[in-house]
Amino acid sequence: MWTWKKYSWIGLIILAVLGGQKAFAVHSSIYEPRVPSEVLEQVQEIENPFPATRERIEAGRQIYFGKGLCVTCHSNDGRGVRVPGHSPRDFTNKKWQDLRTDGELMWVLRNGSPGTGMPIRVGKVITEEEGWNAIHFIRTFAKE
Ligand code: HEC
């Protein structure tokens, strides 16, 4: 028999899932910086130490589709797939691309994006240099 008591746990699970997502949705806008405000200015000034040559963009592409596993969440076209909690940003978004410096993107590769599915990559699965190359590649997704 369908009784409230018997099935109330379903409601509790739904509440827990919704509540959990709220708690994790710490970033209301994709344009908001991901780097903590105390270090933001410093981090923004860090430049990509490597030039955006064709070879480096190609090396970055291999990281993106290969051992960096970026493609599993950020998808083939850079628009991103839906992941629980917080979707990846749309790398084709020119406004987002223009707002972020390479230094900020590197901070996210080194630290992940707290409260989201974006995992630490540099120092775990890819090297610093591979990270900078991947950033050169991510820049090629920008659409006018
Ligand atoms: C498990 C899923 C997942 C994987 C794997 C992943 N990302 Fe992400 N990434 C995300 C999510 C989710 C966000 C959005 C985080 C946020 O809103 O702060 C994100 C955000 C980013 C950002 C943007 C941060 C910002 O400043 O707005 C960059 C850059 C990025 N990822 C690069 C990469 C690269 C490069 C790789 C591979 C080396 C990678 N990601 C692998 C899920 C992933």
CATH code of the domain containing 15 = 1.10.760
Q: What is the dihedral of CA 91, 93, 95, 99, to 10 degrees?
A: -10
Q: Is residue 93 part of a domain?
A: yes
Give the separation between CA 59 and CA 127, rounded to whole angstroms. 12
Q: What is the CA radius of gyration of the chain?
A: 18
Ligand 1 site, residue 80, Cβ cutoff 6 A: no
The sign of the torsion formed by the CA atoms of 60, 64, 70, 76 equals: positive
- The finding on whether 117 has its CB within 6 A of some atom of ligand 1 is yes
Query: Looking at the domain assignment, is residue 13 inside a domain?
Result: yes
Nearest CA to ligand 1 atom 31: 118
Question: Using one digit for the tens of pLDDT, what is the confidence trace for 2-27?
Answer: 565 666 655 555 555 555 444 444 56
* Mean pLDDT value of segment 105-111: 98
- Is residue 144 situated within a structural domain? no
CB 106 within 8 A of CB 131: yes
- pLDDT at 7 (0 to 100): 64
Q: Where in the sequence is the domain holding 96, given as residue range(s)?
A: 4-139
Q: 116 vs 54, which has greater pLDDT?
A: 54
Question: Is residue 108 classed exposed, middle or buried when 0-12, 13-18 and 19+ CB atoms within 10 A define those classes?
Answer: buried
Q: What is the pLDDT of residue 24?
A: 47
In DSSP terms, which residues pair with 122 in a beta bridge?
A: 126
Position 85 confidence tier, pLDDT thresholds 50, 70, 90: confident
Residue 111 forms part of a structural domain: yes
In a domain, 28, yes or no: yes
What number does the ligand 1 atom closest to the CA of 117 have?
12
* 83 CA: nearest ligand 1 atom: 12
Asked if residue 72 belongs to a domain, the reply is: yes
CB distance 127 to ligand 1 below 6 Å: no
- Global confidence as pTM: 0.85
Q: Is the CB of 68 under 6 A from ligand 1?
A: yes
Structurally, how many domains does the chain consist of?
1
Q: Is 69 in the pocket of ligand 1 (CB under 6 A)?
A: yes
